[in-house]
Amino acid sequence: MYGLVLQDWVTVSGSTTAMLVQDESDWLDMTPFQDLTAWIQVNEATNAPSLYLETAPSKDDVLFVSMSAGGFPLSTPGVQVGQLQLGLAAVPLAQFLRWRIAPVVSGWDVTFRILLAANAPGMATS
């Protein structure tokens, strides 16, 4: 297993319901990996946006799709763990990984971080 940081502590907010996407410079190249577990730690949230982990084979915005059907609600402080394994994820891990926040109401904010454990083919997944 390899430990990675997809997002260190950050506070983001919005006054509209427009989606917010992680800066391209912070996207991770996941080429060697096939499975990942994500720890999404929320420190505070207002008006509970949802977070999606998205993957794509290239850095074209139109190619990014969510790896899990419902995303992760950021409604309460604490840690959510998501297992996105090759055979179980809605969409398998491609080359690039990023986060996207989809607010449902205007006037939202959230403070969070995302830590990952990833493994490459041939590594144990237990």
* pTM of this structure: 0.91
Taking all residues of the chain, what is their mean pLDDT, rounded to a whole number? 92
Q: Other CB atoms closer than 10 Å to residue 88's CB: what's the count? A: 10
- Give the bridge partners for 40, in sequence order: 80, 114
Domain ranges (residues) in the chain:
2-119
Phi-psi region of 122 (alpha: psi -120 to 50; beta: other; left: phi over 0): left
Residues 69-100: tens digit of each pLDDT:
888 999 889 999 988 888 777 888 999 999 99
- pLDDT reading at 126 higher than 70: no
Cα(98)–Cα(96) distance, integer angstroms: 7
Residues 94-125: tens digit of each pLDDT:
999 999 999 989 999 999 999 999 998 876 55
Cα(77)–Cα(75) distance, integer angstroms: 7
SS3 33: coil
Query: Looking at residue 1, what is its pLDDT?
Result: 87
Percent of the chain at pLDDT above 70? 97
Q: Which CATH architecture has domain 2-119?
A: Sandwich (2.60)
